[in-house]
Amino acid sequence: MSNQRSPNSAIRAVLWDFGGVFTTSPFTAFTRYEEAHGLPKDFIRTINATNPDGNAWALMERNDVTREEFGDLFEAESKAAGHAVNGRDILPLLSGELQPEMVTALSIVAKSYKTACLTNNMRTGHGPSMSGDPDKAARIAKVMDIFEHVVESSRAGVRKPEPRFYEIACEMLEIQPSEAVFLDDLGVNLKPARAMGMTTIKVVGPDQAIGDLEAILGMPLR
């Protein structure tokens, strides 16, 4: 008889962010860009966090503006903050490298639980990963195929941390929020999910995230 513990029966679904969870964080790429262009540390993140529901970043993730309009709006916002940066230069930084241990964990979880990817993204590049590299996009597409559902802000017209975004995922999976675990690398995205009743995990790195999820589900994921 296997020593594996039974999955947690109180949980029926595991919801996952994509960038910064299955791929390396775009924040690392932002930092490299800032260093290369003589920008203050965390300058890009500061622009994205200013007027977060109505800035260029939010409009792009809800598909309310085109790629070109985003570039100009982001440039105006960054110029007002002291350093003009065209948003079109930032978009290629969004697609990180896949973290295989997270993909393995997803594959194991998907055998016992409902799964969905909840991603704030932009209609740029190839697919939900926003990759400009077709080969990388193809690899990421194989990961996307594992999920039962994928909720994209650019298609849904709402984005994390708007509560409606999480409600859409729960409706698709036919679950209550209290029956879900949600993993994201941003605390601001976890807060509304937790308020709705979800169990949340802030992803700092693969080992930590997988360990936390193993503890909640009661099953090995490596």
For the stretch 15-27, pLDDT in tens is: 999 999 999 988 9
The pLDDT score that the predictor gives to residue 3 is 36
By the 8 A CB rule, do 165 and 153 touch?
Answer: yes
The pLDDT score that the predictor gives to residue 137 is 82
Give the model's confidence band at 13: pLDDT under 50 very low, under 70 low, under 90 confident, else very high: very high
Higher pLDDT, 104 or 121: 104
Q: Which two structure tokens, joined as six digits, stand for 27? A: 């924040």
Q: Are residues 185 and 151 in the same domain?
A: yes
- The residue out of 71, 93, 115 marking a domain boundary is 93
The pLDDT score that the predictor gives to residue 215 is 97
Torsion (CA) 138, 140, 143, 144 in degrees, nearest 10: -90
By the 8 A CB rule, do 209 and 102 touch?
Answer: yes
Q: Check residue 115 and report its DSSP letter.
A: E
For the stretch 46-85, pLDDT in tens is: 999 999 999 999 999 999 999 999 999 999 999 999 999 9
Q: Say whether 122 sits in a helix, a strand or coil.
A: coil
Nearest-Å Rg of the Cα atoms of the chain is 18
CATH number of the domain to which 106 belongs: 3.40.50.1000
Q: Are residues 48 and 103 in the same domain?
A: no
The pLDDT score that the predictor gives to residue 94 is 86
Element (H, E) at 89: helix 87-90
Handedness of CA 36, 39, 45, 48 (dihedral sign): negative
Average model confidence (pLDDT) across the chain: 92
Cα angle 165, 167, 171; round to 5? 125
Residue 117 counted as domain residue: yes
Q: Which domain holds residue 191?
A: 13-25+96-217
Q: Are residues 49 and 75 in the same domain?
A: yes
Q: Are residues 118 and 71 in the same domain?
A: no
φ, ψ dihedrals at 44, nearest 5° = -65, -45
* β-strand partners of 117: 16, 150
Helices (H) and strands (E) counted in the chain, each on its own, are 11, 5
Q: Are residues 73 and 18 in the same domain?
A: no
Give the strand pairing for 149-152 and 13-16. Answer: unpaired
Higher pLDDT, 91 or 135: 91
Cis before residue 161, ω within 30 degrees of 0? yes
By the 8 A CB rule, do 18 and 117 touch?
Answer: yes
For the stretch 123-159, pLDDT in tens is: 765 455 455 577 888 899 999 999 999 999 999 999 9
- The residue out of 35, 59, 93 marking a domain boundary is 93
Q: Are residues 104 and 180 in the same domain?
A: yes
Region 165-185: what's the mean pLDDT? 98
- What is the length of the chain? 222
| CA–CA separation, 122 and 120 (whole Å) | 7
Sheet holding 13-16, edge to edge: 149-152, 114-119, 13-16, 180-184, 199-202
Q: Check residue 126 and report its DSSP letter.
A: B
- The residue out of 93, 120, 136 marking a domain boundary is 93
